[in-house]
């Protein structure tokens, strides 16, 4: 009955559950600001600044990059124009050879 060109039962369900979650969120009366006291570490009595608690996002993936050796991949992208020209020409000839063999 609901199904049409623009929406179906899944679309209606998605909207319903998004609204439901939103009302649940509002009903929880979330507080807006985190007070400074809540960032202090009680176990050892140490007080840390909020800035110090943030993870350094930019190096978060360093281990993945090193493990997958992505640095080696980036050596292909040196920015050198003659390398780019060579790689475009090589790619073109490789594709043409593949097309001729497979067509």
Partner 1 sequence: MYSFLSIPIFLAAGFLIPFIGSSNAKNSRRIALIASFLAIVVSLFEIPSVLLNKISVKYMSGWMAPYGISVAVDAFSLVFIILASVIGFLVVLYSKKYITSWSVEYYTLLMLLFTGVMGVLHAGDLFNLFVFFEILSIASYALTAFHKNKKSLEGAIKYLILGSFTASFMLLGIAIIYGIAGTLNMADLAGTLGAGLSTSTAIAFGLIFAALAFKSAVVPFHYLKSDILEVTIPPVGAFFASIVSATGIYAIMRLYFTVFNAGFLTHHILILLGVMSIILGSLMALKQKDIMRLLAYSAIAQVGFVVLAFGMGAFVSESYIAGIYHLINIVFIDALLFFCAGVLVLKHKTTNMEHLQGVGTVNPVLSYGFLIGALANAGVPLTNGFASKWLIYVASIKVSPILTIITVVASAITLAYSLKAYSVLFLSNAKNPKTIKLDGTIIFPIVFLCIICIALGIFYTAGISISEIATKALLNNKPYILGVLG
Residues contributing to the site for partner 1 (CB under 8 A): 3-8, 10-11, 14-15, 18, 50-51, 54, 57-58, 60-61, 64-65, 68, 70-71, 73-74, 76-77, 79, 81, 84-85, 87-92, 94-96, 98-100, 102-103
Task: Tell me the three state secondary structure of residue 14.
Answer: helix
Dist. CA 34–CA 54, nearest whole Å:
14
Q: Measured from the CB of residue 74, what is the shortest distance to partner 1 in angstroms?
A: 6
- Which is nearer to partner 1, 3 or 40 (by Cβ)? 3
- Give the ranges where the chain is alpha helix by DSSP (H): 9-27, 62-68, 70-74, 81-102
């Amino acid at each position: 009955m609901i199904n049409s060109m623009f929406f179906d039962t899944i679309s209606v369900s998605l909207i319903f559950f998004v609204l439901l979650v939103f009302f649940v969120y509002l009903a929880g009366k979330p507080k807006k600001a985190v007070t400074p006291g809540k960032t202090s570490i009680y176990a050892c009595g140490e007080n840390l600044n909020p800035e110090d608690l943030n993870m350094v996002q930019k190096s978060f993936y360093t281990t993945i990059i090193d493990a997958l050796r992505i640095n080696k991949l980036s050596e292909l992208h040196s920015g050198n124009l003659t390398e780019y020209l060579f790689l475009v020409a090589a790619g073109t000839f490789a594709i043409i050879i593949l097309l001729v063999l497979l067509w």
